[in-house]
Amino acid sequence: QIQLVESGGGSVQAGGSLRLSCAASGDTSSHYCMGWFRQVRGHEREGVAAIYNATGSQYYADSVNGRFFISHDNAENTLYLQMNSLKPEDTSVYYCVALLIREAGRKSGNYCYTRLPASGTWGQGTQVTVSS
């Protein structure tokens, strides 16, 4: 089992920046997928970014590519999402998701982005509000 605790959400004006953190604890083996997803109440869940920690391979949704940056500190077992040039449409609850990878073979950020929603463990979410 892996436990996830997000932090760093808040309110910011359009054009501003925020950094989200997700501290992982529990069964943190050496290889795992981690990512950020977001959801506005009453709307479909949307992928944001994902990373495979063993290689650092990343994948971004088109809506955030070039503005958001995902990273992972293996020593601290912490996932980050640096969000720049924020827009009002980025307003959402952001969730950290993690999936332990036990099978052999190199994985990509795209692989993680695809597998995480249905197979990963989810954090409790943190609210990000961007005002115009």
> Each residue of 58-74: pLDDT tens digit?
999 999 999 999 999 98
**pLDDT given for residue 121 in this prediction:** 95
Gap between the Cα atoms of 50 and 35, Å rounded: 4
Better-predicted residue by pLDDT, 27 or 34: 34
Question: The tokens of 32 are what?
Answer: 């795992």
Answer yes or no: are the C-beta atoms of 115 and 33 closer than 8 Å.
Answer: yes
- The number of beta carbons lying within 10 Å of the beta carbon of residue 66 is 9
Flag whether pLDDT at 105 surpasses 90: no
The CA-CA-CA angle for residues 19, 3, 93, to 5°, reads: 40
Burial of 97 (0-12, 13-18, 19+ CB in 10 A): buried
Arithmetic mean of pLDDT, 113-126 = 95
Name 50's bridge partners. Answer: 35, 59
Mean pLDDT of the residues in the chain? 94
Confidence of residue 26 (pLDDT cuts 50, 70, 90): confident
